[in-house]
Chains A and B, each alone.
Chain A
């Protein structure tokens, strides 16, 4: 049982009007203090997020190639973007990538977190936690360079190993379908550590008593996880999926290094198109228009997630 302590009553209460005045002054002071503490973050967000977003929106209405002054284009950049098959394919690729990569990432992270949450020596649990998190601290570009060697069809270690058991060389990066699967695999391998850590934290927060009560009611194994663990873990799942989706929609390094968007446009993503349009073709207005569309897509998907979360997320 928790003891509830009743605060001591002040001996001499002041007159009501004076108390209200002091509260107002104190509140004002507290608000000022809060504003002071928040100021660096707010300034940071405004300077590094709000202003660039506004800048991109404005730039998307201009033709600009860095060399000459920008000229007003109205909606021409958006018309150009909507009529460009490469851009449309890149949006499709990015959505496919997002769905598959995030689903796989969450599934692997959840299964591993549940496994580690079971009986296991503490030192071994620490080893696994570090091992699963380690790829996340590495540079995505470096990982992709190494993976490009490993998955090379003709000279890669992966095909060499498969060859030892009689499997013919797999075109990991040179076939349209295999290339996207390989990019997803590399991305998930690096990214699942973040979701994994969230799930480990979320599982630790679930009171043991609830699991014990469920066990007494006959819920064990998969049934226990589906009926008890998952609902209680749903707020963590929401956070992991929101972060995962936002990151996946901005994927760049892995397809850029592994396949350069190929074969054809099979692995070209939206951020790759933004980079190519802006920094290789000097069409900064069009690149900004694509960026604005991606921003809208991310906002829409995130809003949809929060709307759905009202039905599927359970807070204790």
Chain B
């Protein structure tokens, strides 16, 4: 009969579905699958160190990890290299990991994030530093106090500087030669700089740009603000810190030091800030430099090494990059930023920050100490991709292969201009940076746009700084 036949078919069909589903479920249940414990940094007992992926080469990182294991076989270390385009992107990814419950123990943090991490996530290193003072004396003697001070927040030390980069100026010697100019002296002025740009422009073709800069916190407008004796935010020093200065630095070096920098009141409408923007606007109008959005750091090595750019701000990190791009030490050189009202330079530094959430804080401190050892840094910074925080590492032999001839400028910036300081990076740094970049673009987009843009910048900065981070 057709009815009973249909019913049987349906029964067989559903039976087959059931069997298939059961087989699938069984297979899925028995499969060797990923669980939460497989997520890097979760529950495997290792000390997790998050670094900016592209900052160090993998072989060097491996050597660093193995070196640490040799010293501390009981501490398993995993380096979590986070790929990011810049520090802001890196911090965003670290915070995503924290939100996901996979916070690392240590994070490599640059000046841009020092105060944000210190205020919200970091652990002060004070008691470990005091405990191991004897062991650290050699380190502090080798590291400029300005770098250490930039890692302090409200009287406490949150990181030991590993590397830094001051914004000096790279000059293409091929372009200098074409313009019939010499490498400028260390005490050159802003007017000398402008004259040199004009000289270069006259000698170049229509595709040549004398001065290339990138609109960002480090190396953008801020070096010009510093040179003109001002800053985007009023700068002062937090009290405290004498516990460190008195222990590790001689009187001459600790004079004027405090418990870290404070950036508070916005001063975008300050006359000197306006003056610095007017100057950059005049360079843009004269076609002597790139426009804010035109400066694209990613192709800078290419355009500089091929002689389409004459001068650009960069730190020690660029020597290795230019060498890889095929530039010989004789092809370029480096000089300080020119003097305007002052010759104060800006720098950014970086080191490992210990997170509050870490359950391995003592092990993490051991890693921090290991990471700033001279032999560790020598292994890590083989290609001159940065300026080591340790002065003793900047030697003639280090720069023989890559240049530049005046490599001493990299560290001497700190000595020669003692007021040189970190880029303004309060805990509200993300918003401050966004406001700075946005309004710098507008200010220099057209003539007479500087003042309206700076007024808007001031308003936005005030709002940003009012926000409790």
| Pair A263/B293 contact, Cβ less than 8 Å | yes
Residue total for B at the interface (Cβ-Cβ under 8 A): 39
Is B419 part of the contact surface with A, judged by Cβ < 8 Å? no
Q: Which residues of B contact A175 (CB under 8 A)?
A: 445
Q: Given A155-B303, A174-B445, A280-B430, are A260 and B96 also a contact pair (CB < 8 Å)?
A: no
Q: Which of B96, B296, B469 contacts A152 (CB 8 A)?
A: B296
115-154 of chain B: CB within 8 A of chain A:
120-121
Q: Which of A14, A155, A263 contacts B207 (CB 8 A)?
A: A155
A315 to B442, CA, bound (A): 50
Q: Given A176-B445, A262-B292, are A154 and B207 also a contact pair (CB < 8 Å)?
A: yes
Q: Given A160-B207, A263-B442, are A155 and B308 also a contact pair (CB < 8 Å)?
A: yes
Q: Which residues of B contact A163 (CB under 8 A)?
A: 206-207
Is B82 part of the contact surface with A, judged by Cβ < 8 Å? no
Is A212 part of the contact surface with B, judged by Cβ < 8 Å? no
Q: Mostly helix, strand, loop or mixed at chain B's interface?
A: helix
Is B439 part of the contact surface with A, judged by Cβ < 8 Å? yes
Q: Given A155-B207, A175-B445, A276-B434, are A66 and B292 also a contact pair (CB < 8 Å)?
A: no
| Pair B292/A153 contact, Cβ less than 8 Å | no
Instruction: Name which of A155, A173, A175 has the most chain B CB atoms within 10 A of its CB.
Output: A155
349-406 of chain B: CB within 8 A of chain A:
none
| Pair A259/B434 contact, Cβ less than 8 Å | no
Is A264 part of the contact surface with B, judged by Cβ < 8 Å? yes
Is A282 part of the contact surface with B, judged by Cβ < 8 Å? yes
A259 to B95, CA, bound (A): 25
Q: How close is B465's CB to chain A, nearest CB, in angstroms?
A: 13
Q: Which of A14, A29, A66, A174 contacts B294 (CB 8 A)?
A: A174
Q: Given A160-B207, A276-B434, are A262 and B441 also a contact pair (CB < 8 Å)?
A: yes
| Pair A152/B441 contact, Cβ less than 8 Å | no
A267 to B308, CA, bound (A): 28
Is A8 part of the contact surface with B, judged by Cβ < 8 Å? no
| Pair B430/A281 contact, Cβ less than 8 Å | yes
Is B235 part of the contact surface with A, judged by Cβ < 8 Å? no
CB closest chain-A residue, reference B290: A154
Instruction: Name which of A148, A174, A263, A276 has the most chain B CB atoms within 10 A of its CB.
Output: A263
- Residues of chain B having any CB pair with chain A under 8 Å: 3, 6, 10, 14, 17, 88, 91-92, 95-96, 98-99, 120-121, 206-207, 209, 215, 290-294, 296, 298-299, 303, 308, 430-431, 434, 437-439, 441-442, 445, 453, 469
- Residues of chain A having any CB pair with chain B under 8 Å: 14, 22, 26, 29, 36, 66-67, 145, 148-149, 152-155, 160, 163, 169, 171, 173-176, 179, 259-265, 276, 279-282
